[in-house]
Structure 1
Amino acid sequence: MDLKHPADPKAVDLPKSYSDLPFQQLRIFNVPESAKEVTPVVVVQLYRPNNYNAFTDTLMRELETAFEMFDIDGRVKVVVLSGYGKMFCAGADLDIGFSKGLQHTKDNRDGGGRVSLAIHRCRKPTIAAIHGAAVGVGITMTLPCTIRVAWENAKIGFVFARRGLVMEACSSFFLPKLLGMSKALHLCTTGSVYQANNKLLDGLFSELLPSPEAVLPRALELADEIANNTSTVSTNLMRELMYRGPGSAEEAHLLDSEVIAGLFGGPDNSEGVKSFKEKRPAKFTANMLDNAPQAYPWWHATSTASRPHPKGKNPKPRL
């Protein structure tokens, strides 16, 4: 596989409801759950009730598929990532073991990284609701999420050094950016498990909750606030500016200026100003498929996958 030249974009049939999809280790709920069609907020639940939601190839493929669809589905505004039972995710399923069939080539793709990139590439905000233990890939897969909220006593572990492995799921990129190099090195070098409220994890979670039961409701409150009050185009572009920005203040200024100019007078900018003046909730309708500014994308990226598009809607060449 040539990572710089992925396959042609595929056309995807978007479901009437994600809860109808035949996933085996993943559950997806509308909010409210009684809704028959896709709602602005969807909950993705890791679901391996007898295995502490441990990570498998099946779970990887299902998460990758789900986030690819969320990315291009205009009905979805925010995704909440959660886990079933007492744990969020116990890490890789050690009963299954690690694949020994991989060849030593640059085309190898670790499963956690495929999930992390699917979340990172999803242009909708994702909130991780970590109500219980998250270890190994169980925590690294959440690093690309826009927001992480957690139970203050949840056990968090970057345990790779104790398994004879290295950090995966793109965490060598995300973790130092979120926590700083000193804390990231400490966490990975000890391989210890810490409570979410440990000072070493300061900054990883934007909110810590007093009980496991409080985590998902708080994540849903945040999701509702975002879905009802913000532009998906704006939140995505700001996240991209932070992660894919240039290396100096002057370059950032030039890029910011170009992106802002591309949004001035657009549908969401016009609606945002009009709704503020009229003192009413905004109804943002723009999306990245149709309304991305001319400057997007501004980076030269190594492609690891082609971005699918909804059936019946051809993507613009720049996407």
Structure 2
Amino acid sequence: MPVTLDKHGAVAVMTLDRPEALNALTPAMRREMEQLVTAVRDDAEVRALVITGAGRAFCAGGDIHSFAGTGALAMRDRLRQQHRVTLGLYQLEKPVVAAVNGAAFGVGFNIALLADIVLAADTASFCQSYSRVGMVPDGGGLYLLARVVGTQRAKEMVLLADVLDAQAAQRLGIVRAVHAPDALMPAAMALATQLAAGPTRAFGLDKVLLARGLSMTLEEFLELEAAAEAVVMQTEDHAAAVAAFRDKTPPQFQGR
């Protein structure tokens, strides 16, 4: 299968596995990604997700060869498929780590932006390459990119289609840390394992608040914050953390 999902304890690893085409996305791959993200969402044993690519690329974008002869309605359906993947990752109430091992171009860049934390190999590169083929970014790219680097810098990156190396992406705040290629997945797994051992329900509500707060007034946000806090204080993890604080021992979160 060109997209695989492997479980390592509480961490799932989704790999774009079409290395001969630099993991360029086909319609079938988008369908598989949607199914696998849903499986991660519904699996209580999985408490963190790592996304990476096989071979020398993370994802080179959409498979341009599969666009040939696609009519307007069929293209709309294809984009709606990508939108379901985008929303599935954006709304996933579990930590997501992107391990960008090589080129992340076009929608590949935008998949990385959907992660909560991005790690990159020092051989990785990033490009909003759409203008090179006369297209606009898909997969929520403009929405996501502007919120990470700011509107003005996002316009530069989209209009000029500049290629950023891993270090430049780190300076812009896209990437948290840069690693040697053979150290990337161990670092991503260590980080995901750390996150999987945390308070999963609280992490999920953190993500909801951050996402919804972008379109709310402060008054509206504070109401949502109060509701989220009231819910999370009823979780087993909160009770365990309070007991651990009282006993001066490290908390042991179970994701409940």
Alpha carbon RMSD of aligned pairs, Å?
A: 2.2
- In the alignment, does 2:35 pair up with 1:27? no
Deviation track 1:180-227 (CA, whole Å, cap 9, x = no partner) reads 111111100101222122269611112222x22221111111111111
Match for residue 273 of structure 1? 242
Match for residue 217 of structure 2? 248
- In 2, the alpha carbon distance for the partners of 1:196 and 1:263 equals 37
Counterpart amino acid of residue 272 in structure 1: A
Match among 264, 267, 270 for residue 233 of structure 2:
264
- In 1, the alpha carbon distance for the partners of 2:44 and 2:52 equals 22
Match for residue 227 of structure 1? 196
Match among 163, 181, 190 for residue 193 of structure 1:
163
- In the alignment, does 2:207 pair up with 1:239? yes
- In the alignment, does 2:181 pair up with 1:212? yes
Higher relative contact order (CA 8 A, sep 6+): 1
> SS at 1:244's partner residue?
helix
Deviation track 1:159-186 (CA, whole Å, cap 9, x = no partner) reads 1111110011011221111111111111
Shift of 1:113: 2.6
Structure 1 gap ranges (5+): 1-23, 32-38, 287-319
Structure 1 residues 144 and 237, CA, compared in 2 at 3 Å: closer, same or farther?
same
Counterpart amino acid of residue 160 in structure 2: T
Match for residue 61 of structure 1? 31
Counterpart amino acid of residue 238 in structure 1: D
> SS at 2:192's partner residue?
helix
Shift of 1:107: 7.1
Report the TM-score when normalising by structure 2: 0.91
- In 1, the alpha carbon distance for the partners of 2:212 and 2:101 equals 30
- In 1, the alpha carbon distance for the partners of 2:133 and 2:170 equals 21
- In 1, the alpha carbon distance for the partners of 2:232 and 2:115 equals 24
Shift of 1:108: 7.0
Structure 1 residues 138 and 277, CA, compared in 2 at 3 Å: closer, same or farther?
same
- In 1, the alpha carbon distance for the partners of 2:66 and 2:217 equals 46
Counterpart amino acid of residue 179 in structure 1: V
Structure 2 gap ranges (5+): none
Match for residue 132 of structure 2? 162
Aligned length: 254
- Partners of 1:43 and 1:82 within 8 A in 2: yes
> SS at 2:195's partner residue?
helix
- Partners of 2:12 and 2:48 within 8 A in 1: yes
Deviates more, 1:198-207 or 1:154-163: 198-207
Counterpart amino acid of residue 5 in structure 2: I
Q: Among the aligned pairs, what percent are the same residue?
A: 27
Match for residue 13 of structure 1? none
- In 1, the alpha carbon distance for the partners of 2:141 and 2:166 equals 17
> SS at 1:59's partner residue?
helix
Match for residue 132 of structure 1? 102
Report the TM-score when normalising by structure 1: 0.74
